[in-house]
Amino acid sequence: MQFFFLQASEINSAANYLPIGLQMLFAIGLIATVIVGSNYLGPKRATADKLQNFESGIEIRGNARQPMAVKYFLVAILFVLFDVEVIFFYPYAVNFRELGWSGFVAVLVFVSLFITGLVYIFKKGALKWEV
């Protein structure tokens, strides 16, 4: 109960942040100890099999620096763009009653811009795959 009667200067004093600072120091010290300890105590057997790249259990074939089609990147960027669009609907869904008609109109403008972009992408043929 005494907490409610404290002055603002007593609540925001530097002494109140001491436990947080100690916890951060402890966490940093633990991380450093684990990294350094595993480096010194762990086994070091550098064989040819261990030094070879491993990717999902698939044997390595060819050079990893070969050119890749831009279509893969384009589809990935478009997926991220339209996936992030859905995230912006969450605040509207939570506060749709408080936002009223002005919020509804704003969401309609937002959706119409993205539908315009999707139509543009289809007309440009960005999602057509040439085999």
The predicted model scores a pTM of 0.44
CB 92 within 8 A of CB 34: no
Question: Which fold is adopted by the domain 2-124?
Answer: Methane Monooxygenase Hydroxylase; Chain G, domain 1 (1.20.58)
Structure token digits, residue 53: 């790249």
What is the pLDDT, as a whole number, of residue 8?
56
Q: What are phi and psi of 59, to 5 degrees?
A: -65, 145
Q: How far apart are CA 78 and CA 121, in angstroms?
A: 9
Longest dimension (CA), the chain: 74
Share of the chain above pLDDT 70, in %: 83
Question: Is the pLDDT confidence value at 7 over 70?
Answer: no
**DSSP character at residue 55:** B
What is the pLDDT, as a whole number, of residue 129?
73
What is the pLDDT, as a whole number, of residue 49?
73
pLDDT tens sequence across 66-102: 777 777 888 888 888 888 888 888 888 888 888 889 8
Average of per-residue pLDDT values in the chain: 81
Question: Is the pLDDT confidence value at 24 over 70?
Answer: yes
Question: Is the pLDDT confidence value at 40 over 80?
Answer: yes
**DSSP character at residue 57:** T
